[in-house]
Amino acid sequence: MFTGIIEEIGAVRRIERGAKGARLTIAAKTVLEGTRIGDSIATNGVCLTVTDLTADSFSADVMAESLRRSGLGALQAGSPVNLERAMPLDGRFGGHIVSGHIDGTGTLASLRREDNAVWLTVRAAPSLLRYIVEKGSVAIDGVSLTVAAVDGTGFSVSIIPHTGAQTILLGKKPGDTVNLECDVIGKYVEKLLGPYGQAQGGITMEFLAQNGF
């Protein structure tokens, strides 16, 4: 489990591509402290298992499913990446519940400055937007953010200066792909409603009336 509070910005040192998967080597410093083989490090929001360590880097295998669901396949040597170690049991929960399991990708539509903040608008598919609600949480490239607005084509978040300085988000430009992880609570609620035929249609007035509400 992660919190979406980025610890440092690393850089892709090497990417070795296989038939369908890949192996990433990432230069880092902070996230290497106390890390051992087998530990998890979220890389642009994708939970990766450390398979090799050096004094200034770690390596991880990326399976085909992760490449399909995320933007990791577009990384190149030198690409900056957001990094976060798995949350320790005695740590502070500063963001929200982030699993590191990407739901899909979105496209950065615009960046707009408003005083000390920058508004990011992201376009996403309806299959993802159904889980994104105003004032709810979403992870963009692993960064825990509050949804400020959402409509039928996308959603917007506001980036404070600290978040802008500590992550790669403000280095992106319109048209860039971002990894999205929706709030896990909404997905579980939908799944549990499945037996009642609500997984696809949502809770309706008829459903509430039939169940005594």
Q: Do 67 and 124 fall within a single domain?
A: no
How many Å apart are CA 135 and CA 133, to the nearest integer? 6
Where do we find the tokens 């997905």? 187
Domain count, the chain: 2
Q: Are residues 37 and 108 in the same domain?
A: no
- What is the CATH number for 72? 2.40.30.20
| pLDDT tens per residue, range 58-108 | 999 999 999 999 999 999 999 999 999 999 888 888 889 999 999 999 999
Q: For residue 197, tell me if it sits in a domain.
A: no
Percent of the chain with pLDDT over 70: 94
**What's residue 199's pLDDT?**
47
What distance in Å separates the CA atoms of residue 50 and residue 24, rounded to the nearest whole number?
Answer: 10
Range of the domain at 183: 104-189
- Looking at the DSSP assignment, which residues form a beta bridge with residue 13? none
123 and 162 assigned to the same domain: yes
Position 90 scores a pLDDT of 83
Q: Does 46 lie in the same domain as 13?
A: yes
User: What kind and span of H or E run contains 209?
Assistant: helix 205-210
Nearest residue to 56 (alpha-carbon basis) of 11, 123, 3, 109:
11
Residue-wise pLDDT for 170-203, tens only, equals 999 999 999 999 999 888 887 777 665 554 455 6
pLDDT at position 160: 96
Buried b or exposed e, range 189-212, using 16+ CB within 10 angstroms? eeeebeeeeeeeeeeeeeeeeeee
- pTM metric for this prediction: 0.88
- Convert the pLDDT of each residue in 27-50 to its tens digit: 999 999 999 999 999 999 999 999
Let me know if residue 152 belongs to a domain: yes
pLDDT greater than 70 at residue 53: yes
- 62 and 134 housed in the same domain: no
In a domain? residue 58: yes
Residues 61 and 126 in one domain: no
